[in-house]
Amino acid sequence: MLWPMRVLLTGGAGFIGTHTALELIAAGHEPIILDDLSNADRDAVARTESLAGASIPFYEADARSEVEVRRVLQAHAPVDAVIHLASLKSVSESTSDPLRYYDVNLASAVSVLKAMLSTGVSTFVLSSSATVYGLPEQLPVTEETPTTLALSNPYGKTKRVIEEILADVVTANPAFRAISLRYFNPVGAHPSGLIGEDPLGAPTNLMPIVVDAAAGRLDAVNVYGDDYDTADGTGVRDYIHVMDLARGHVKAIENSGSGYEVFNLGTGRPVSVLELLDAFEKTNGVEVRRVIRERRPGDVAASYADPTKANRQLGWVAERSIADACADAWHRELLRSTVSS
């Protein structure tokens, strides 16, 4: 692998993208960001640059435009890899607006792959999701755990279909390599508090909702079900700090092999809703009111990773704890609220 690698991050102005750009620069590589700013703030790129102490070329563009993606790849030739993060990602929204999800998520992946093949860029990393496992048949989840298209949401189906597309593109182009990174639940923020999840709309995932409740923007956290077959009855997930997740992308482009490969990016540590709430209160010295509600349709009881394959083959281990994620998420909130006040 040649150093430094020049890497295009589609959707790179978002939560995962900004943290991944930072980790790429820290490893001596050169990120380029393309983002349509539909779910990200242009200022996040500037804050990432100030943290990195380096400038990051930025292009406001739709990743569904093969012409625009190709133009960026040609302008920065030779580009060594593309990390494809441009995607809609709300499970609940995908259920109510499936065609928008199939359009944005599938069309952007196809356009980016076509632009890469026509410009000789041969490494593609997909931001995929543990959602593709549906209701996991076994726990912890390995990369051999059966995935399914019988998923309860179009979001997960788009990720599963793109993975099939990658396998076919690699078969047709033996020199091309594709890596699918199946994220578990990304949480936290950069320790500086300058970048973080920063949802533009009302969040549906747990950690930003906990932050909203702790900040007084919500009366309480709705705990969706306490009657699951888990230790305390609430849903269990694998919450991975975004800084660990970001470094997983760097290790993937530096250490993966050839062909099409899949890696689970998780901590391997199961955490329940109530455990996360308690960790947040204890770590940050704040109260988070909670109300037990009915289960949320589509939720699975438990999902957490066996990260052995990524540990061994990518030389990557998630190092940060749930307490670190709670501290960093709250620090980001405190900084945001002082800056915006």
Bridge partners of residue 264, in order along the sequence: 182
| Encoded tokens for 249 | 């992308």
Residue whose C-alpha is closest to residue 220's, from 229, 232, 230, 210 = 210
Tell me which of 173, 192, 204, 313 binds ligand WQD, using CB under 6 A: 204
What residues contact residue 188 under an 8 Å CB cut-off, 6+ apart?
Answer: 196, 207, 241, 242, 243, 320, 324, 325, 326, 328, 329
Closest distance to ligand WQD from the beta carbon of 273 (Å)? 5
Q: Which residues are catalytic?
A: 155
What distance in Å separates the CA atoms of residue 132 and residue 300, rounded to the nearest whole number? 12
CA distances from 250 to 7, 90, 254 (A): 10, 25, 6
In one letter, which amino acid is 331?
H
| Encoded tokens for 195 | 């970048």
Tell me which of 17, 134, 235, 307 binds ligand WQD, using CB under 6 A: 235
Q: Quick check: 71 binds ligand WQD (CB under 6 A)?
A: no
Residue whose entry in the numeric block shows the structure tokens 């920063």: 198
Q: Quick check: 131 binds ligand WQD (CB under 6 A)?
A: yes
Tell me which of 74, 148, 173, 222 binds ligand WQD, using CB under 6 A: 222
What distance in Å separates the CA atoms of residue 139 and residue 178, rounded to the nearest whole number? 26
In one letter, which amino acid is 226?
D
Tell me which of 269, 296, 309, 336 binds ligand WQD, using CB under 6 A: 296
Q: Quick check: 62 binds ligand WQD (CB under 6 A)?
A: no
Residues 269-288 that bind ligand WQD (CB under 6 A): 273
Tell me which of 237, 241, 249, 320 binds ligand WQD, using CB under 6 A: 237
Closest distance to ligand WQD from the beta carbon of 151 (Å)? 10
Identify which of residues 48 and 272 has a Cβ nearer to ligand WQD in the complex.
272
Residues 84-113 as x/- pattern, contact with ligand WQD by CB under 6 A: -----x-x----------------------
Question: Contact at 8 Å (CB) between 84 and 111?
Answer: no
Residue with nearest beta carbon to ligand WQD? 235
Helix (H, G, I), strand (E, B) or coil at 130: helix
Identify which of residues 37 and 300 has a Cβ nearer to ligand WQD in the complex.
300
Bridge partners of residue 223, in order along the sequence: 292
- Contacts with ligand WQD by CB under 6 A lie at 89, 91, 129, 131, 183, 185, 204-206, 209, 221-224, 235, 237, 273, 296, 299
